Amino acid sequence: MPALRELQLDFAESILSGKLDGVSEHIRVLGSTPEHRLSIYRNNTFSNLRGALREVYPIIEKLVGTAFFNQAATAFIAACPSASGDLNDYGDGFAEFLGGYAPAVELPYLPDVARLEWALEKAYYAADHGLLELQRLGEVAPDQYQNLRLQLHSAATLIESEYPLFAIWEVHQPDYQGEGYVDLNSGGAALLVTRRELQIVIEPLDQAEFTFLACLQKGDSFIEAVTAAIQHDESFPLQERLTKRVMQGDIIDFNLAATHS
């Protein structure tokens, strides 16, 4: 008899791979066979995980159809099994998986749609934050701007795509009243996904502000973020945009930690 941990690992591998003979000899059942019971457990496991993915990626399923989605989800589950007991944690990495999934090669926009849907899921469960007081930010001396680092809300995700990602999302909403057609060659998208109080928000951004926020999110200084934004738009309305982001709760804190090269 193998050690418990070894048996558990073999059991998990058998369930994921479908090769059940490796652990069946260690299972005793009445009125059935070990292989049959393991098959039932495997089917239930995959069904539950496919259901979790379906909850997170409803637009992906609408775009490809249920049969295709189930096939892709099953392949993803086998390749990327859940590492958490909480099904709400499952689904990260589906975008990257779709990017390398051969049957989806003719649907190159799918990974970006999956990134958007995972960002929505992440925003829903992100921690809450209080609003940053503008007065605190206004008290930072200009000679400290090179050390000033602004912190985005933990729900915030910035997504850039060469496809009209916002339009794809919009036409698949239950209350959408348009014709339901999206021209994939109509231009790309730069989006902020976040949560403001209890509302999940998808906001299209211009390239300058997208760059500004992306720089802040990766830890660049305020000066570096502003410089990068101005390279896209020399008239970037910094004060207006900064005030808006603080008031909306998109920027929730800051620090003045100097960096040393």
Question: DSSP per residue over 53-119, as a string?
Answer: HHHH-HHHHHHH-HHHHHHHHHHHHHHS---SS-GGGTTTTHHHHHHT-GGGTT-TTHHHHHHHHHH
Residue 261: per-residue pLDDT: 44
Cα–Cα distances (Å) from 12 to 15, 78, 80, 202, in that order, read: 5, 10, 12, 38
- Determine the Cα–Cα distance for residues 238 and 229; give it in Å rounded to an integer: 9
- In order along its 261 residues, the chain shows pLDDT tens digits of 566 566 565 566 666 666 666 665 656 665 667 666 667 767 888 898 999 999 999 999 999 999 999 999 999 998 998 887 788 889 999 999 999 999 999 999 999 999 999 999 999 999 999 999 999 999 999 999 999 999 999 999 999 999 999 999 999 998 898 888 899 999 999 999 999 999 999 999 999 999 999 999 999 999 999 999 999 999 999 999 999 999 999 999 999 976 544
Options 3.90.930, 3.30.530, 1.10.405, 2.60.40; which CATH number does 127-261 get?
3.90.930
- Determine the Cα–Cα distance for residues 225 and 149; give it in Å rounded to an integer: 9
- Determine the Cα–Cα distance for residues 113 and 119; give it in Å rounded to an integer: 10
- Determine the Cα–Cα distance for residues 80 and 92; give it in Å rounded to an integer: 9
Residue 89: per-residue pLDDT: 86
Task: Return the C-alpha torsion angle 101, 105, 107, 109, nearest 10.
Answer: 70
Residue 260: per-residue pLDDT: 46
Task: Provide the whole-model pTM.
Answer: 0.86
- Determine the Cα–Cα distance for residues 101 and 114; give it in Å rounded to an integer: 13
Least Cα distance to 216 among 139, 141, 137, 143 occurs for 137
Phi–psi pair at 135, nearest 5 degrees: -60, -40
Task: Answer whether 175's CB lies under 8 Å from 199's CB.
Answer: no
Residue 18: per-residue pLDDT: 60
Residue 88: per-residue pLDDT: 83
Residue 178: per-residue pLDDT: 83
Residue 23: per-residue pLDDT: 61
- Domain map of the chain by residue range? 1-125, 127-261
